[in-house]
Structures are given as C-alpha cells and as structure tokens.
Chains A and B, each alone.
Chain A
Amino acid sequence: MTANTTTASSSAPVILDVNDLVTSIGTKPDAHRIIDGVSLQVRQGETLCVVGESGSGKSVTSLTVMGLLPKKVLVPTRGKITLAGEDILSATDRRLRQLRATTMAMIFQEPMTALNPVVPVGKQIDEVLRAHTNLDARARRERILAMMEQVRLPDVARIFKSYPHQLSGGQRQRIMIAMALVLEPKLLIADEPTTALDVTTQKQILSLIRDLQRDHGTAVLFITHDMGVVAEIADRVVVMRKGKVVETGALDAVLRAPTMEYTRNLLASVPSLIPRAARPASSEPIVLETDGLGKVYRQRSMFGDAREVAAAQNVTLTLRKGRTLGIVGESGSGKSTVARCIVRLIDPTSGEVRLGGQDISTLSRPALRPHRKRIQIVFQDPYRSLNPRVTVGETIAEGPVNYGVPHAEAIKRAGELLELVDLPADAITRYPHQFSGGQRQRIAIARALALDPDVLVADEAVSALDVSVQAQVLDLLDEIQTRLGIALLFITHDLRVAAQICDEVVVMQHGRVVEQGPAGEILTNPQQAYTKQLLEAAPGRHWDFANFRPVATAPHDTTAPI
C-alpha cells in the first residue's frame, strides 16, 4: 500500500467545509446535542478520516452533510456547511436532491441492506442517471457498464441484471461505490464502508476507493472506528468523542505524536499485531480435545436430492489447563460452528469432543447435563445475551441453582463474581438495560464463571465492543485466567486480538483447519498461503499503534516502508 504518500497538497480547493456544526435532538434550546460544535474541512483529492467510538457522533456528521437526518428528530441548529462554495444547510429539499449523487455521494456500512432487494443492481445505478442526466437508455447503459468495470466487477453484463442477493458482500459494496461515483461527485462520504466485510475483501475495497479517488480527484470523508483502516487510507484524521472534535491533524502526526490524552488512550487500546511474548510450553493436563470434529447440514428437499453443506470438517484441537487457544477465520470459516459443537448447542455429526477425557459429542441431553457445567460460553452480542427481564443476580445464579446450590448461597456467590469482574455489588438487583455493552459482557462472563468451568469459550466475545472497552475486557479475561487457571477457547476474526491473547491458534477456512500451532509462529511466520493472505490484509499492519510508531519490519513482509 502506498496510502500515506499521496497526500493532497494543502493548496487544493476546499470541497467540504463544516463550521461549528451543532445537531440536536429536536429544536428546543436545551435539546441534547449529538454534534456539538464540529468543524472540519475536506480538500479536493484528500481523504479525511473521522474516527471515533460509538456515540461519538461521526455518523450523524455525515448524515447532516447529506441532508439525510430523520426529519424533525435530529436537526442542525447551529453552524454552517459549505459544499463546493454552496451553503447546504439553507438549501431547499429540491436543491439538495440535485446535489446528491452529482456533487456529493455516500456509501454505507451494510452492503447487505443498502441495496433494494427487489430491483436489479444495474437498474439501481441507472436511477441515478435517470434522475440527474438526459442520456438515452443506451448511453446510460454504456456508462453504467464502464463504471462497473472501473470498480473491478467481473462479468459486468451479467451483474448488471443481477439482484443484490445474488452478489457477495464485496460485490455489493462495489455496486454501491459505482452508484456513488457514476456522476463523478466532488465529495464522497464513506460511512464505515468496510466494517461489515471480511478483511481480505476490506483490503480490496480500500484500495479501490484509493485508486478511484486518485483518478477522479474526489474528496473523501471516510468514517470509521478502526485505527487500522485509518492508517491505510487517511491523509488527515479527525478524532471525535461525544459529538466534539478532540484532535485534528495529518495522519502521521496523529499516529506518532497525538496531543490529546483521549487520542493517546485510543491508540494505546489497539492491540498489536505482533504476538505477545510466548508463555513457556505447558504440561498441565488436557481439559478439552476434539478429534475429527465435523458438522454437516443436510438440506432435504421433497424430491430426494439432499444437499449437504459441511460447516466444519475434521477439526482436531487440544487445549490445556490455563492456556488460551484461538480459532481465527473469516465469516463462513466454520469457527463458530466448532465452538457451538463443543458446547453442544448444536450436535456434531462426526468426531469426538472430549472434556477431561470423556467424550460428550454423542451424549443425550440428560446424560450431558452433569458435563455442561465444565464448559461455559460467552457470546458476541452483549445486548442479546442477557434476558432483559431477569435481574443480573438471578441471571448469574441460574446455573448454580440448576446444579443444586441453594438460592441464597447462589445469589451471594453472584455478588462475589460481580466483584471479580469489576462491577459494583449493587448490580445484583439491577436489570441488564441499566448497563453498557462492556458491562453486560462482564456480566455474561460472571454467569459463565458461576459454574466453575474448566473451559470458557468466548465466541467473538469482544468483537462488538469499542476498542477501549475491548482492551479492558481482554485484560479481565487475562486476569481471570491467571487467577483461576481456566482454559480459554477464543473464537475471533480479529488477528490483532488473537495475537494478544492466544497461546496457540487454529486458522480455519471453508470449514477446514488450514494451519495450527503456537501463536507466535503462525502469526509471524505463516506457512500456508491463506494465513499469509489474512495477515497481509490486516489493516494498519505497518503501524504499532500502542507505541506510536511504525512497525520496524512488518511480519514476513518485504514491501514494508522503512
């Protein structure tokens, strides 16, 4: 990547000028301000990254510029937005419609839902041309096909006629980009455009946006929460927090020498891609083993032609007491299937799962019950993994009560566990909605620990959390492991997280294990092409964010900048 070398000259004209913008909930003078005095500028040919955690107001900023705020709910109440010399906060609806797609265009986070499912994608791009040009049908079609080729879509004539569900996530995002850029707007707003994509696809989309920007001289306002992505694509960076701009500066300056405490902490929370120092090899007893584990889904149709989909095949892994084993892979790799088979939330179709030597893969529900307490799971979504109608104390006590612990004792123990996960003791009588996502994930961990399991399975348990909260939860897991000697099976798509927490890793793709071994080896010196590809796609791998410097030599990489 040559991301940091194409910095636009500071003499290029300013395309977007946001000055002291305030966006509030409703118009009352004391209304809560979602955006509170934000100023930023994007010049022609430049990429400005707005980075921030959830609730920072970064997305609302972009929607305000586009004039797409929900009417009467979120209202810009102060400040000025100038787009190519034109004040757009005072523009009429009609004028705003004219400006969209022609002067400013936007791509969104979820390529899965951002396209109309019942209209062929070619027609959806065509709508832009029909609304803003007088071209005839043939000219429009030619222009669309040319644009689709520019965004490097294969077989454009076929894709032109395809519906969104027939395309992959990456292809859909390319369609979104084609749609946004077909009229060569001066400003492109990209709101987390790669967050929902796998890393390898993310890398392609990022370089596509970069290349198109270079060719067309577009100004790009790029919104993201991911410091890695920032390092890949930004010329300049705006750090936002709670609706305010914390820090602005050129990419290098912000990453090397952040002036604000918040930025420093944010950068320090980004886990390094360089594996942590390896722990000495363990000779502790094996607590969990799988042997040739597989899960095949059969889709039976009425006419007999059963289709088989192997979600996981021949997975063999070993986990010792007090150790952490990571399963890494992209979506569809089967890593979650393996986790769910091991916890017996789904039934494996082949192979063995041995907990402390005992195979549990084929046990019946009643026979399984005594074994369940030895392995517990923490899920990804902190908002859905706690029953909203049950108090925190009852949630944590549920497991022990099931295994015969008297209720009062279980509640008392729940209080101790809450302390262990750094939550106040009075949390016990409160309900989940009174807690933030990170706090809820702590509660879920406490629930899992209540049964004193030998193995804790964390299925993308920190993936939904902001990076600073993620760092805290990872610290907590580490501390718990040290104190309790528990074994961790850590499922993640994030190589940075894996590098910081795992002793061993298993790399999966298409339901199969590609490579496995000590984390230090796999993540610095991978043998398999797929693992290399994954590592190369990790955004910002040339930066050691936490130490405010570039990586001396990026893992196994020859093209790293000096």
Chain B
Amino acid sequence: MLGYLIRRILAAIPVMGVVALFVFLLLRLTPGDPAAILAGDNATPEQLDRIRTSLGLNEPLYTQFITWIGKLLHGDFGVSLISNVPVITMIGNRIEPTISIALSTIILTVIVAVPLGVVAAWKHGTWVDRFVMALSVIGFSVPVFVIGYVLIQVFAIDLRWLPVQGYRSFARGFGPFFERIALPTLALSFIYIALIARMTRAAMLDVLDEDYIRTARAKGIAEHGVLLRHALRNAAVPVITVIGTGFALLISGVVVTETVFNLPGIGRLTVDAVLARDYPVIQAMILLTSGIYVAVNLLIDLSYTLLDPRIRY
C-alpha cells in the first residue's frame, strides 16, 4: 500500500513539473518583450524596469527558471504587479466563495447524477433513459452563463425568491450564505451533472452486460440488489474517475459562474488579473488549480484500491 502511495505521488511530480514549465515558458517565449506585454502600450521605461526586476527577466532563462522554481517550492508565488500585495495573500482572501460553491456543486452533483445514471441504464431504451440522455446533452451544450442568467431572471428577478448576485460569508450565518450560493451552485452543477449522469449510465450499461450480472440474476436475488450490490459497485471506478477528470471542467465553470453572480472568488480574481495583465496572479492561479486537480486525481487513484481488490498496491 505504501509503495503504491509513493509511486502515485512520484508520478504526480513530472505532471506538476510540466505545468510549471508551461507557465514559465508561456510568458518568456511569447514573441516580444515580456515586460512590454505585461505593462501595456503606454508604459514608461521605469514601469518596464520595475516589471523586469520583479520577474527577474534580466537573468538568463535557466537562472530565471531555477530561482522561480526555488521560490515556488518555498511557497513564494510573487507579488501582484498591480497592487503589490503578495499573490498568496490575495488568493487567501478570495478563496472562501470558490470553495463554497465548488463543494456544494460536487455534493449536489453526486446526489443527483448517480441515481439518474443508474435509473437510465436500468430502464435502458425507455423514455426515462431518453429523458436523462436529453437532459445530459442539454447540460453539455447550454453555456453556464446562459443558465446562470436564466436562473437569475426566473428566481431572483421574476419570483424574487433569492438575491440577484453577491456573496455573504458562511461565518455570517447559514441563511444568507445559502441564499447566495444556491443559484451559482445550481448553474455550475448543470454541466457536471450532465457529465456524471452520462458516465454513470455508460459504465452501468457496460457492467450490466457482464457475465457476473447474469450469475447474480441466476441466483434469484431481487433486481435492486443486482443493480446496486453488483452493478454499481463495479461501475464505481469509471464514475469516480470522471468525477476526478471533470474537476477541470468544474474549475473552468467556477471562473464563469463567479463572473455571472459577482462572487468575489478566485475565479473572478483570475479574470481581473488577466484583464490587467497581472501575470504573477495568473501563473499562481494556474499552478494552484492544476495542483488541486492533480491532488484530487491522486486521491481518486488511491480510492481505487478500496473499490477494486484487483488493483495491486
């Protein structure tokens, strides 16, 4: 088990290395003077100098990389070019709304999507199946901001059940907090539910074709036992895998959702940083989200050993 754990963690290192290298080279290899790109068209020579020093752009490339990586490993993600605040502080101040809607989305998704997928596979070829599939194609196709604005129009403007936009910290009471994350969660869940329901259905259909399902039926056990104890247990690995890879989708969705609902999260922070060309913030965000993605998928890899006894440690 420990060996497996170590192997998986070691395997994650080159992935993060590639991410870091990509982020590093993206700025340096973009045609033109990086400092000029970041400073914009009307920059003064002093501004350019300040950016160069701040990012160490005067050094040779490999020195830059080594210093940069060294700082990263010590948790130093640099200082914002706009506000001069350390990036890590900026992220820390803005992370709560993001975590709130991401977690609530995952919970809602699993609760809704897995049963939908199971029922669709069980009732394969019936109107239930077609309904779930239609729902999932629509979920894939309607952009999250369109869903977001429709929700705002219906629930906040027409029905006046919920506030239009904004965020209230969890620390200031659950009611106001819930009122404000309900619609973002709903909007963000749409695509994720579509993805997971579809995957659950496909995995269940695969499993339901297996010989051991026929064996289970030949034993004369009830149909729900066949579905849950035999089929879903075996379909769990691909479903959980997609929950992991779908995490990238979730992060992308967060960026848009925060913009639609005016949530002061790290997604909005990223968009603002991009518009202001605040590169240290952008690179920190990419590293952070990729790091979370890799960590989540690492955890999921480890969970396989619990779900499937055949996977060797």
Contact = CB atoms under 8 A, between A and B. Distances in A.
A302 interface: yes
A514 interface: no
B220 A101 contact: yes
A118 interface: yes
29 contacts: A66-B218, A68-B214, A68-B217, A68-B218, A97-B220, A99-B220, A100-B219, A100-B220, A101-B218, A106-B218, A108-B214, A110-B211, A114-B211, A114-B212, A115-B215, A116-B230, A116-B233, A118-B308, A118-B310, A130-B221, A131-B225, A163-B309, A165-B309, A165-B310, A179-B219, A301-B3, A302-B3, A302-B7, A303-B3
Given A108-B211, A113-B211, A116-B234, 13 more contacts: A97-B220, A100-B218, A106-B218, A113-B210, A117-B310, A118-B309, A128-B220, A131-B220, A163-B309, A165-B309, A179-B215, A301-B3, A302-B3
A426 interface: no
B55 interface: no
Interface string B271-313: 0000000000000000000000000000000000001111000
A263 interface: no
Interface of A: 66, 68, 96-102, 105-106, 108, 110, 113-119, 127-128, 130-132, 163, 165, 176, 179, 301-303
Contact of B308 (A105, A117, A132, A176): A117
A96 B210 CA distance: 21
Nearest to B6: A302
A118 B220 contact: no
Interface residues of B, number: 25
Nearest to A125: B219
A116 B216 contact: yes
B10 interface: yes
B222 interface: yes
A147 B234 CA distance: 27
Contacts of B130: none
B211 A98 contact: no
B6 to A, nearest CB: 8
Contacts of B230: 116, 119
Interface string B171-183: 0000000000000
In the A-B complex, the 3 residue pairs with the smallest Cβ-Cβ separation, listed nearest first, are A100-B220, A113-B211, A116-B212
B234 A117 contact: yes
A179 B221 CA distance: 13
A128 B10 contact: no
A165 B310 CA distance: 7
Given A114-B212, A116-B234, A117-B234, A131 B221 contact: yes
B229 interface: yes
Contact of B221 (A66, A97, A118): A97
